[in-house]
Amino acid sequence: MAKVAILVPYREMCELARPLAERASKHFTVMCLEFTRTELVESRVRELESQGCELVVARGAQAQIVKRSNLRMPLVEIRVTTQELGMVMLDLKRELGIACPRLGLVGFANMFCDTAQFNQLFGVDLRLYMVEDTAGLAPATEQAYQDGCNAVIGGDISCEHARHMGMTCRFIPSGEESLRTALETAGRVCYAIDLEKHNSAEMDTMLNYTFNGIMQIDRNGVILRVNRAGYDLLERRPSDLLGQTLTAVLPNFNRKVLEDTLFQGKEAYAFLMDIKHKVAIVNLAPIRVDGEIDGAILTFQEGKRVIEMDGELRRELYQRGYIAKYTFDKTQACNKEVQATIALAKRIAKYNAPVLLAGEAGTGKDIMAQCLHNESLARNNAFVPLDCSAWLPDTLDTMLFGNYTTKKETPTSMAELAQDGTLYLSHVEDLPFEMQYKLLNLLQGKFLHNGSNRPVAANVRVIVSSCVNLAARVERSEFRGDLYYALSVLSLELLPLRRRREDILPWAEFYLDEWQEKYKRYVHLTQGARQFLLNYDWPGNLDQLSRVCERIVLLTEKRNIDEVFLRRQVEQITPKTLPGTEKVVLYKDQKAVEIAALLRRYSGNRERVAEELGVSKTTLWRYIKKYGIEPDYNY
């Protein structure tokens, strides 16, 4: 049964309440029935709570103090009943000998029943002087005196002050009826407490005997309850979890996902987390009460343990360049389509399934591969990149799967180096058919070293990229269909810069910062240069943009980079071949070429050139300046 503490402000009330409490003990356990001084109530109640008390019965100022203590225990207040208060008023009316005396009722609102009909019932003029704390009792009594009250009904402080002013007074009664009513209410509350304990015990048993970790948080993200499996998964004691915020316990928990659930009511389904070097599949669902979000429930399903390389091997791989340096927070994404792609990439990064990256050359597929690795649970393991177009087939086969001598004599293959990490293959379309079959086996968790007839288990996350349409190659039997379907379970398409012009300037600033830091030369783009960057189509995408930025940092003779200088660097770094030949020519702006030719034809006569172009001389002058046409009319 629920444990109840009954606190009263007067010793006499203890004796009056004792037999009533004994009769009520069949409904609850009386922990204590005691007289308590008002100034000691808060400390006493906190002590009782620590001892397992589940409900407090108190009166007046003491009940107010319990309310303000922010305790989790419910409170039942002892209220003066209509009969008890009415008897006091009739007694005062007889003593005063006034047909309709004005009476002042001084105290705390929580002590009294509804007095709205008292004037009519008892033939009095009742005035109420309700206060918030004991400091207000004396001023309220004095106010009753100034309002012409013939008598005052109140507690010790009010009665003492009234007597000092020569007023008739009566002590607020708390008789058997008010105590009985309070204890009956306590019995009903205790029934609800016992019912909740019963339901909670059933729930705890059910939660503690499930194999999934379960956690309940409130609307502020504070942890309220965790089951046994949750404590085991988190490797924490209850005292280390309960009352803490979820983000303090799990700093790597996605804050946006949590906010979307607690503020917008969105569910988060089956996302992966690294918890104590174990993969956990996490679900997050809001708790709704009367349509309002009151918290959330998290479930954790433990997966396999995350295996990390030892420190010495990690250092060796880092020295060999097998490290991913890019993360999603370094990527520049102002375009909405790109933002959606990155959001999808972050979701799929946690899974160990292969990923196919598609897009034109230079769109940042290698950057995306590194970001996926660094967002994955294998971020602390090797990232092994290999360009399939850069090697002869035999060399590529040896690099990926080892050579055909005995394994002890061979250097570690790239597939082996990527164990428990990520293997990134760019230009995967250039893999020969035989190696496509070996890669398919690797995707299926089997690694067969060249020269061996025994496959071994492999745990390698494979990311591939291609600049061609692999589906079309499958139709032409130029690429294995089973490998294509295995690779394309998760796929991302990266847009060229001309389709996401909002990202051009952020990426240009990013690359300029990198090259300026490397070469310790610092530049500033003029507005014209920035506009040129935005308008240019960038056929080489990010690769071309990066090299142009490096070139202007190295070759500029002044800090401010204008459009003329920038245009020349783009033209000189963007070669083309003449149709039908292998002769390389530099890209030149056709408008600028036309203007330079006309200037030469008319020996620099700008009026005739402007007339033929159909523009004003001022406009022609602007063109000459914009394209940097030399005084000898060369371009």
Residue 281 DSSP SS3: strand
Over residues 468-481, the pLDDT tens digits come to 999 999 999 999 99
Helix (H) / strand (E) element for 105: namely strand 102-107
What number does CATH give the domain 590-627? 1.10.10
Q: What is the pLDDT of residue 382?
A: 86
> Which pLDDT band, with edges at 50, 70 and 90, does 204 fall under?
low
CATH number of 498-586: 1.10.8.60
Q: Is 602 left (phi over 0), alpha (psi -120 to 50) or beta?
A: alpha
Q: Which residues, at least 6 apart from 43, have a Cβ–Cβ distance to it below 8 Å? A: none
Domain spans, the chain: 3-77, 82-173, 210-305, 311-495, 498-586, 590-627
The answer on pLDDT for 417 being more than 90 is no
User: Looking at residues 197-204, what average pLDDT do you find?
Assistant: 73
Contact present, 7 and 34 (Cβ < 8 Å)? yes
Q: Which fold has domain 210-305?
A: Beta-Lactamase (3.30.450)
Q: Report CA-CA distances (Å) from 207 to 214, 284, 295, 326.
A: 7, 16, 18, 41
Per-residue pLDDT, 320 = 65
> Above 70 in pLDDT, residue 72?
yes
The pLDDT assigned to 487 comes to 93
Confidence of residue 322 (pLDDT cuts 50, 70, 90): confident
CATH level 3 topology of 3-77? Rossmann fold (3.40.50)
- Confidence band of 372 (pLDDT split at 50, 70, 90): very high
376 and 422 in contact (C-beta within 8 Å)? yes
Q: Tell me, what amino acid is at 319?
A: Q
d(CA 493, CA 443): 21
What's the gap between Cα 323 and its chain centre? 27
Kindly tell me if the per-residue pLDDT of 631 is higher than 70.
no
Give me the phi and psi of 596, to 5 degrees please: -60, -40
Count Cα atoms within 13 angstroms, Cβ side, for 95. Answer: 15
pLDDT top residue among 353 and 310: 353
pLDDT tens for 522-538 read 999 999 999 999 999 99
Burial 315-328, CB ≥16 within 10 A → b, else e: eebeeeebbbebeb
Is the pLDDT assigned to residue 104 strictly greater than 60?
Answer: yes
- Most confident option among 70-84, 171-185, 536-550: 536-550
Indicate the average pLDDT of the chain.
85
pLDDT tens for 217-270 read 998 999 988 888 888 888 888 888 888 999 898 888 888 889 999 999 888 876
On the question of pLDDT at 634 being above 60, the answer is no
- Does domain 311-495 fall under CATH 3.40.50.300? My reply is yes
| pTM of this structure | 0.56
Structure tokens given for 312 = 């010495």
CB 490 within 8 A of CB 354: yes
- Compute CA 140 distance to the chain's CA centroid, rounded to the nearest angstrom: 52
Over residues 483-510, the mean pLDDT reads: 94
Query: Residue 20 region, left (φ>0) first, then alpha (ψ -120 to 50), else beta?
Result: alpha
Q: Check pLDDT > 80 for residue 611.
A: yes
Question: pLDDT-derived band of residue 387, with 50, 70 and 90 as boundaries?
Answer: very high
Torsion of CA 446, 449, 455, 457, to 10 degrees: -50
Cα–chain-centroid distance for residue 508? 30
- The CA distance from 311 to 322, in Å, is 14
pLDDT digits (tens, 9 = 90+) for 447-462: 877 877 777 888 899 9
Confidence of residue 440 (pLDDT cuts 50, 70, 90): very high
The per-residue pLDDT for 430 is: 93
Read off the pLDDT band of 319 (50, 70, 90).
low
Residue 205: the pLDDT is 67
> What average pLDDT does the segment 354-372 reach?
94
The pLDDT of residue 588 is 56
pLDDT at 192 over 90: no
* C-beta separation of 282 from 271 below 8 A: yes
3-state secondary structure of 376: coil
Quote the CA–CA distance of 203 and 569 in Å, as a whole number.
71
Q: Of 73-77, 232-236, 301-305, 352-356, where does mean pLDDT reach its minimum?
A: 301-305
Same fold, 311-495 and 498-586: no
Query: Are the beta carbons of 56 and 4 closer than 8 angstroms?
Result: yes
Please tell us whether the domain made up of 82-173 is placed in CATH 3.90.1300.10.
no
